[in-house]
Structure 1
């Protein structure tokens, strides 16, 4: 029988669907034909694989070689199938045992010399292979990435000849040495550097505890960017599963994974000239954008009104759904996008509206046009808005007070308060459903009447009604986890909707 089957994985977002590489040798004119919706890089594999097999001291069959990549409706691209195709051809010709290919998946691009080159998207493929209980062979260039997953049998190789020797039982392939670090003490920007700004610091702590979105409004040079950069330092550490999700998105882009800091939450700060595609992702072969690269971390948009209105509006759906779906004529890719949005803006075009030290040069119409660059629906999805006023010069040079806490102190409070939410619903307060909101945000009759009256006077929407309750729930958790929200929790949550 001149038929062999090997297993590999395609790259479709972070899904990594399985691909069966079926190789058949038959009579007729010698040649290699690859079918199964291959793109250009996959069609070119026939030349890479032929020369790599010959340079690895094996015989390339002088027969008609048909390679089918199933399922046929799934587009295949890149050089990730080279190793699986080469092994299928050798197994079909009897040069390596077929039974050794069972329950094993192969990823890797072949050089003409037979050496294995690294490919992108290895981590998502390993996560899927782990769920199926299969072994995986990857190039040594991907060993560091493979070392992040400890409960899957991964083997690394340098050449096609090494893999064939392993399948024949003539040698062993090494496993990647586990070098992933444990959660570490945070050594990034620290809150101790921020002087004053008590209300903004309080809003930042609430944001970190509940996973909420935050808008900072103030004149230039008041510390808005400084505050935003310090949010990752007070967020709870990533769990191992969250860290693997975040690294899987990075793996799809082909960027290296930092093994020393792989448990850190990402912080992405695209420039205001970034396009909608740069933010969301896309391309003929869909790749993740800044939103997905901020998964489980922070997306910081400075100078918010300077971003294109169209660019800002693409944020609305992922802020609600926590994912990005990119559809193209030939394929569809889904990327995770569970991020915290931190935005900063000036109060007016010149930046000095309400500043006691600088005179604003803007007319009321200019201020209105400036703020109208941000759509109402987007602002409605931001849970907290806070003013960041100018800090007096005398306070900048004064000794630090008890309110100037460092990030470690604030982070300890954040972790303790978030535990209340995790014990109740298993997720941060910003992510709880409407039904869970009714259960976890109980109000007494007097508080309910007061809250309804306040919402009516402020003219807030139904979305704001639920989001404000979630913020109040977070404030109550910081206050010790009270079961019933009182008026102080509600009043503080409401004041963050008024900027």
Structure 2
């Protein structure tokens, strides 16, 4: 007899259907697992054997073959334990095979028969809902699966309770959706003394979803300003909360089935590797840029990151997703993040301070800032210099305007953008492409002149401006003229021209 149990394999945020086929046939006693299982899946044989023994069942002395179909799809993770155990129970006649045909099963088994949590239950529940099936999962993840909507969820604490439920004995009560996490209380902008220019740049970045780079000496308040950003961003919409929760579910970061309602704020250390930042590894998992999806990715001490690691962010910042290619899999994770970066002007951090002048300036600053590539800097919309805070500023009373007042203005700006791009895809101005922006927010003649002056003065790329009329072609210079052509002076990152980013967000 061959028993069939439905389960899933996770490829990024995609749940693919997998059928667990269990055959108990005559022959020498042997337990075979086929279908490209990894180490964790192969070890499920021992966990299943011990779990069945804990409820008083032993494997028959026959040849047991478990096939994970499709056989050419790699299988990873411990969530195959439960479907393998249910398939064995059906093949042995302990459970009705027709009853199991209406469910997708995921979960890890303990040696004592308990059902242990495993990553990706929310994705499995959404997959089961699309197929019109129910879901069998551990009791600890029942509230997480209940967020999938109209799907029957059987959340069992152990294997014996599950078998009793499937046999029609003691029925398990359906789980209720877990509570939504309230937004955590973070730093308030009222704590920031001075830095009016930087706070204005932070508000513009929040309103339009722009990336921001802050450059200034140590102790100027760059990290505090970045930590204040989640407090002025609008809360996630229900659809956005589901997107963020799906990423957290795949990463195994949903605690108690709580839906994530606060925008993520991820601040990896500068020693982070490329798989840690963009995802990947031996078992492909989402990286920091995906865990910060629809939230904030804060990179402090930007030049201290390894240059290949920073350059790996160029494509995610451009496309809004991460594509991790492996020999046996191609996985795509969402990565629509708002990048906030901070850096010192030079390695010693006191460039331009006559009292703490660096003996290697300006070469020290040039070498330090050159660690960040030009293409990455080009993807950061706002560059602002954060000056040192004086002792006189620190003794001033706190500003009257805090995060609540700024958040109200940001919410109003986001509402305008939501109405502007309704049904067209983008959520904010930063996500809109040039053609769409040119159609809905064409600047007037003074605004176009301001943008053109900024592009010429700061040597901005085409990412910053709508298309301009083509210029007349220049005459080709001779080799001697090109050799003696004066080179432009290398400029450190500066704040965009006043009103340029604001004009873009209107």
Length-normalised TM-score, structure 2: 0.87
1:307-318 equivalent positions in 2, closer than 5 A: 307-318=305-316
The residue that corresponds to 1:429 in the other structure is 429
Residues 187-233 of structure 1: CA distance to partner in whole angstroms, max 9, x if unpaired? 21111111121111111111111111000111111110010000011
1:149-168 equivalent positions in 2, closer than 5 A: 149-168=148-167
The residue that corresponds to 2:179 in the other structure is 180
Distance (Å, rounded) in 2 between the aligned partners of 1:167 and 1:74 = 29
The residue that corresponds to 1:14 in the other structure is 13
The residue that corresponds to 1:407 in the other structure is 403
Q: SS where residue 294 of structure 2 aligns?
A: coil
Moved more, 91-100 or 50-59: 50-59
Q: Is the CA contact 2:346–2:368 (under 8 Å) kept in the aligned structure 1?
A: yes
2:460 is the counterpart of 1:464: no
Structure 1 residues 494 and 124 mapped into 2: Cα distance closer, same or farther (>3 Å)?
closer
Query: Cα RMSD between the aligned structures?
Result: 2.6
The residue that corresponds to 2:292 in the other structure is 294
Structure 1 residues 316 and 178 mapped into 2: Cα distance closer, same or farther (>3 Å)?
same
Structure 1 residues 438 and 467 mapped into 2: Cα distance closer, same or farther (>3 Å)?
closer
Moved more, 301-310 or 249-258: 249-258
Q: SS where residue 399 of structure 1 aligns?
A: coil
Moved more, 71-80 or 56-65: 56-65
The residue that corresponds to 1:26 in the other structure is 25
Residues 348-377 of structure 1: CA distance to partner in whole angstroms, max 9, x if unpaired? 222122347643444222211111111100
The residue that corresponds to 1:492 in the other structure is 499
Moved more, 347-356 or 376-385: 347-356
How far does residue 446 in structure 1 lie from its aligned partner after superposition?
Answer: 5.0
The residue that corresponds to 2:246 in the other structure is 248
How far does residue 245 in structure 1 lie from its aligned partner after superposition?
Answer: 2.1
The residue that corresponds to 2:100 in the other structure is 101
1:51-450 equivalent positions in 2, closer than 5 A: 51-58=50-57, 60-181=59-180, 184=182, 187-257=185-255, 262-355=260-353, 358-402=356-400, 405-426=401-422, 427-450=427-450
Moved more, 287-296 or 352-361: 352-361
Distance (Å, rounded) in 2 between the aligned partners of 1:494 and 1:90 = 64
How far does residue 491 in structure 1 lie from its aligned partner after superposition?
Answer: 4.6
How far does residue 152 in structure 1 lie from its aligned partner after superposition?
Answer: 3.0
Distance (Å, rounded) in 2 between the aligned partners of 1:58 and 1:144 = 30
Distance (Å, rounded) in 2 between the aligned partners of 1:493 and 1:257 = 43
How far does residue 80 in structure 1 lie from its aligned partner after superposition?
Answer: 0.9
Distance (Å, rounded) in 1 between the aligned partners of 2:277 and 2:326 = 17
Structure 1 residues 79 and 451 mapped into 2: Cα distance closer, same or farther (>3 Å)?
closer
Q: SS where residue 65 of structure 1 aligns?
A: strand
Q: Is the CA contact 2:143–2:258 (under 8 Å) kept in the aligned structure 1?
A: no
Distance (Å, rounded) in 2 between the aligned partners of 1:393 and 1:490 = 29
How far does residue 444 in structure 1 lie from its aligned partner after superposition?
Answer: 2.9
Q: SS where residue 230 of structure 1 aligns?
A: helix
Residues 6-38 of structure 1: CA distance to partner in whole angstroms, max 9, x if unpaired? 111123222222211112233333322221111
2:4 is the counterpart of 1:5: yes
How far does residue 457 in structure 1 lie from its aligned partner after superposition?
Answer: 4.0
Distance (Å, rounded) in 2 between the aligned partners of 1:379 and 1:433 = 18
- Show structure 1 runs of 5+ residues with no match: 469-488
Q: Is the CA contact 1:216–1:388 (under 8 Å) kept in the aligned structure 2?
A: yes
Distance (Å, rounded) in 2 between the aligned partners of 1:247 and 1:357 = 50
Residues 48-103 of structure 1: CA distance to partner in whole angstroms, max 9, x if unpaired? 32332233234534432222111111111222111111111222232211111123
Distance (Å, rounded) in 1 between the aligned partners of 2:227 and 2:354 = 26
Q: Is the CA contact 2:204–2:501 (under 8 Å) kept in the aligned structure 1?
A: no
Length-normalised TM-score, structure 1: 0.88
The residue that corresponds to 1:486 in the other structure is none
Equivalent pairs, count = 473
Structure 1 residues 186 and 310 mapped into 2: Cα distance closer, same or farther (>3 Å)?
same
Moved more, 290-299 or 25-34: 25-34
Q: Is the CA contact 2:278–2:312 (under 8 Å) kept in the aligned structure 1?
A: yes
Structure 1 residues 356 and 394 mapped into 2: Cα distance closer, same or farther (>3 Å)?
farther
Q: SS where residue 219 of structure 1 aligns?
A: coil
Moved more, 76-85 or 348-357: 348-357
Moved more, 146-155 or 272-281: 146-155
Distance (Å, rounded) in 2 between the aligned partners of 1:86 and 1:494 = 59
Q: Is the CA contact 1:385–1:496 (under 8 Å) kept in the aligned structure 2?
A: no
- Show structure 2 runs of 5+ residues with no match: 469-495
How far does residue 496 in structure 1 lie from its aligned partner after superposition?
Answer: 12
Moved more, 149-158 or 356-365: 356-365
How far does residue 144 in structure 1 lie from its aligned partner after superposition?
Answer: 4.5
